[in-house]
Amino acid sequence: MTIRVSMQVNGKAVSHEVEERTLLVQFIREVLRLTGTHVGCDTAQCGACTVHVDGRAVKSCNLLAMQAEGASVTTIEGLAEPDGTLHPMQEAFRAEHGLQCGYCTPGMVMSAVDLLRRFPQPTEAQIREQLDGNICRCTGYHNIVKAVQAAAALGERR
């Protein structure tokens, strides 16, 4: 059985027929073709699929598309400016070498943006605790923490 889901994704109204069991991450990647949101574990363990739903970081592999009906969803593609200028958090990850293979990076950035919304000047311990739900197998987290600290120092919260 299919249903129509409608929501705002990266500021644009979208509406599409999907099967009731369609996960939000599938809707984003397969229907909308926004492939920056990654699928890692399919069990809400790794955080690679993290997006913002109504301003809050959520793991989109753990949410049905129909549960986002009427919501405002932001993916990693929605953080940068239309002219390509990176979001301060994206720029901080680049400048601080907070990525290696890049697979976890979109979810890590989305979680970090939400973290700074809630804790504008987090301690290193808070950063590590809040990003605990995002797994990175490459970096050892040191430069990811530095990137979040650098973005926090800018005081930017978009």
Give the integer Cα–Cα distance in Å for 45 and 132.
10
Cα–Cα distance measured from residue 136 to residue 105, given in angstroms and rounded to the nearest whole number: 8
pLDDT of 73-93, one tens digit each? 999 999 999 999 999 999 999
Domain span(s) for CATH 3.10.20.30 in the chain: 2-76
CATH C-level class of 88-154: mainly alpha
Q: Where in the chain is the domain with CATH 1.10.150.120?
A: 88-154
| The pair of three-digit structure tokens given for residue 53, joined into one six-digit string | 């739903």
Overall CATH class of domain 2-76: alpha beta
Distance CA 129, CA 148 (A): 13
pLDDT in tens, 118-129: 999 999 999 999
What is the pTM assigned to this prediction? 0.92
